[in-house]
Amino acid sequence: MKRRSFMIRSVALAALLAASGAQAAEKLRLLTWADYTPKEVVDAFTKETGIEVEITVSNNEEMISKLRATQGAGFDLAQPSQDRITGPQAEFGIYKPLDLSKLDTKLFIGSMLEATKKNTTLEGKVYGLPHIWGTDGLVVNTKAAPGVKDYLDLCGAEVAGKASLRAKRPTLIAFAFAMGMDPFAAYGNEKSYGEMMEKVGAKLTECKKNLKFFWEGKDALLAGLRAGEVTAAMAWDTGGWKLNGETPEIKFIAPKSGALGWVDTFAIPAKGRNDDAAYKWINFNMRPDVAAKVAASAGNFTASAGADKLAAGKLKDQFAESFPQAAIDNIKWYPAVPAGLEAIEGKILDKVKAAN
């Protein structure tokens, strides 16, 4: 009897542990950015799937640090930027390859999906998918400077003394593309990249006389555009849309040579324990109706095909004007930065800033 009683208790305990494990498994531990998980979206996901979402807000550096410290454990889904995936993966092995068969890839903007897959592929395996994205391009007072259509136009007579740039690496990248070069294609060759950046630096030095100032903080730039002291600048999309809401002739323009795009992704940590929930969350978030709510919360658009048409009011119109399909397809998405290039860029920028 004792043996039978013990066996019954053992079976009951095993069943309890199994049930407890199943219950624990129905949780998605998400490592993400602020404003990417509005409450109504999280609640709708839990209602539809029964999966609870545990949210940890972070940034690129912290995400990598957390996952590195645990060899990829502690979270089921993370959202690093696309240029922060292959490097940490090669060095630390903190992500696992994605199973694309578990995803509804038709929900994604095709060009954005393919670009992100390319930029997050390591040894033939894909580690990231696009979610939230934004760009650098041109913010232009179209009444005062109607001829500004590309980055090099910031050096033209139409905006003499009233243009603005940042003395940062995105400006080097943008000017290289506008000059007919491809800096991303040169990432693998430091010598070629250095020669390219010397040419860009010379052009920026020549252009410097056209600038009202190099902008550092967004407040100074927005104030200059509002006051008319600056009529054209290289800047980010949401800043341009904000000003457009105040002054209709100020618009964000995707340059002819291509806006520069950043993407925050979906990536699955190497030791995540609920991949099924992660794939369900990705598919759920890429549905246009859900993605439109996330975009409204984040202030940027998502890689969901059709979500832009569901955006609310003014933002929908601004997006449509700034990004017709051809402009989206022409976005230059940042790939991972190889070691050594930022040192080259820093020297070029120092020379530009020091030039008279």
> CA–CA separation, 316 vs 309, rounded Å?
7
Q: Which amino acid is at 140?
A: V
The per-residue pLDDT for 353 is 92
Average pLDDT, integer, range 311-315: 74
> CA–CA separation, 286 vs 291, rounded Å?
6
Mean pLDDT is lowest, of 7-16, 84-93, 97-106, 202-211, for 7-16
DSSP string, 3-25: HHHHHHHHHHHHHHHHHHHHHHH
Domain boundaries, the chain: 27-127+261-329, 136-259+336-354
Q: Residue for token digits 């390591």?
A: 122
Residue 234: strand pairing partners:
138
Do 27-127+261-329 and 136-259+336-354 come out as alike in CATH topology? yes
Instruction: Name the pLDDT band for 11 (thresholds 50, 70, 90).
Output: very low
108 or 315, greater pLDDT: 108
The CATH architecture that domain 136-259+336-354 belongs to is 3-Layer(aba) Sandwich (3.40)
Its pTM stands at 0.72
Average pLDDT, integer, range 106-135: 94
The per-residue pLDDT for 308 is 81
Mean pLDDT is lowest, of 240-244, 248-252, 283-287, 307-311, for 307-311
The per-residue pLDDT for 238 is 86
CATH number of 27-127+261-329: 3.40.190.10
Closest by CA position to 327, among listed 247, 261, 229, 249: 261
Average pLDDT, integer, range 145-154: 98
Structure letter (DSSP) for residue 137: E
> CA–CA separation, 328 vs 342, rounded Å?
27
The per-residue pLDDT for 68 is 95
Closest by CA position to 295, among listed 281, 283, 309: 309
Instruction: Name the pLDDT band for 218 (thresholds 50, 70, 90).
Output: confident
* Residue 356: pLDDT over 80: no
Parallel, antiparallel or unpaired: strands 27-32 and 52-57: parallel
The answer to whether the beta carbons of residues 251 and 139 sit under 8 Å apart is yes
